[in-house]
Amino acid sequence: MSQVYIRDAVINDVPLIYQFIKALAVYEREPDAVAATEHDIERTLFDEGATAHSIICFESDAPDAEAIGFAVYFYNYSTWLGRNGLYLEDLFVSEDKRGRGAGKALMKYLAQRAISKNCGRFEWVVLDWNKPAIDFYHSIGAEAQAQWQIYRLSGDKLLQFAEQ
């Protein structure tokens, strides 16, 4: 793939974003884990005050170009840096389009966005079994932060803790 075209997602992209989210869940071996609906995606990415954002990657800038990937990101904050960071929540490129530079183009686009917003970091997580993604991230110079472990409260455990 010699060149790809990336743009900010618009509300009409919600069905496409949802399709990519479901394809990512299949790839990550969690095909039934997507609880979000298209309405949830529309609300959280496009309603007034939305704090998450999405970009779409196309094979070219032709009006009928095929969408081949997407990313969802948001801004977090580092007290140690006193600056925002850009956090990549999801990145996905269609299986038959991988290995042609679309993933790197999406990452570079987000890195440039982080720089333009004066972010001190660009971070994400990767499943420990996802060797192709890990190899890709290493190839662009990213470093694993092995000393940090992610903890999560969700679902009933989150509700129970909040109500204690």
Report the distance separating Cα 30 and Cα 45, nearest Å.
22
Kindly state the tokens that stand for 139.
Answer: 């190839």
Q: How far is CA 30 from the centre of its chain?
A: 16
Active site residues: 137
Residue pair 58/34 in contact (Cβ under 8 Å)? The answer is no
Other C-beta atoms lying within 10 Å of the C-beta of residue 67: 18
Cα separations (Å) of 61 from 7, 16, 58? 10, 17, 7
Cα atoms in the 13 Å half-sphere on the side-chain side of 53:
13
